[in-house]
A = this chain, B = another copy of it.
Amino acid sequence: MNPDLRQIRAFVTVAQLGSFTRAASLLNVSQPALTVQIRNLEEALGVRLFDRNTRTVSLTRMGREFVPALQRILRDLDAIVAEARDVAALRHGIVRLAALPSFASGVLPEIIAQFREANPKISFVIHDVIASGVVAQVREEQVDLGLTGGRIVDPDFEVLHTTQDHMHVVYPVGHSFGDMEQVDVEALTLHPLILMHPATSVRSVVDAAFLAAGRLPIVAAEATYMSTAVGMVRAGLGAAILPGSAMEVRAEQTLRSRPVDDRRFTREISIIKKAERTLPPASESFAHTLIQTLQTA
């Protein structure tokens, strides 16, 4: 028969203490139980490990040679078990998530900071990629969670939460948008606009909204990055339409922003994970706080 972890623990403990009785009390078993465990281990290995009479216990040479190796195995195993329990208790862990750049630079950093205050040992790996990239990385399980725009119908994914991300218009101080009762599609159509690049999810929403309203915007410029768009606004090229989730819509000294007064200028945001996949405890927990933060905000 093959050795057993309890037998190995018994052996190492007896070897260290030099006594069956004391080892037994340390291991919370009776002394006869230990005697049997050691005997079984000796039979399993085919080698006598202790020379013992009724008064004294000492390792044989073979026993002495095996102690360090077995000790190391116990140590390694205990370390793995402790690691697993740390992961389970959120004392350790890595949250891997993919997010659209707008979220990655916008709402996410604050939420992560708040989460890490409660769980300081948990680290994050954020992949900021475009919408199709988020979906792909979740599908290939390079990340546990995805934060992306649009509605997900693929059964490969489970949508943990959806929320609305309303578009804002960003304009320089003194722009006429600042004085209007409401900035609706009509108003937007009258001014040169800076829009995101057509491949982005923000642009699809904007285009769809204009299309639904039967209007065409005056496109002054297109930008791939939101910070570029903001720079263009600052340079006076026009007003930018950017999602409310993005950091860039926050007030700068010389700029202002306000929501577009039209429900259609809204994109859906989904927090997704791969279907039928258990998240690591850290990611699971972070998903929860993420959802709660987005709900209350």
Contacts and interface: CB of A to CB of B under 8 A. Distances in A.
Interface string A58-70: 0011100010011
Interface string A18-60: 0000000000000000000000000011111001010000001
A88 B144 contact: no
A186 interface: no
Contact of A278 (B44, B48, B85): B48
Contacts of A294: none
B80 A76 contact: no
Contacts of A276: 51, 53
Interface stretch (A2-10, A115-123, A213-221, A232-240): A2-10
A17 interface: no
B45 A85 contact: yes
A146 to B, nearest CB: 15
Contact of A61 (B53, B62, B66, B141): B141
Contacts of A280: 60-62
Contact of A81 (B44, B80, B277): B44
B84 A73 contact: no
A133 interface: no
A192 interface: no
Contacts of A144: 61
Interface string A152-183: 00000000000000000000000000000000
Nearest to A4: B5
B281 A89 contact: no
Contact of A46 (B62, B73, B88): B88
A185 to B, nearest CB: 45
Given A47-B87, A69-B80, 15 more contacts: A2-B81, A45-B81, A45-B85, A46-B84, A46-B85, A47-B85, A47-B281, A51-B277, A60-B278, A60-B280, A61-B144, A70-B80, A73-B73, A73-B76, A73-B80
10 contacts: A2-B5, A2-B81, A5-B5, A47-B281, A51-B276, A53-B276, A61-B144, A62-B87, A66-B80, A73-B77
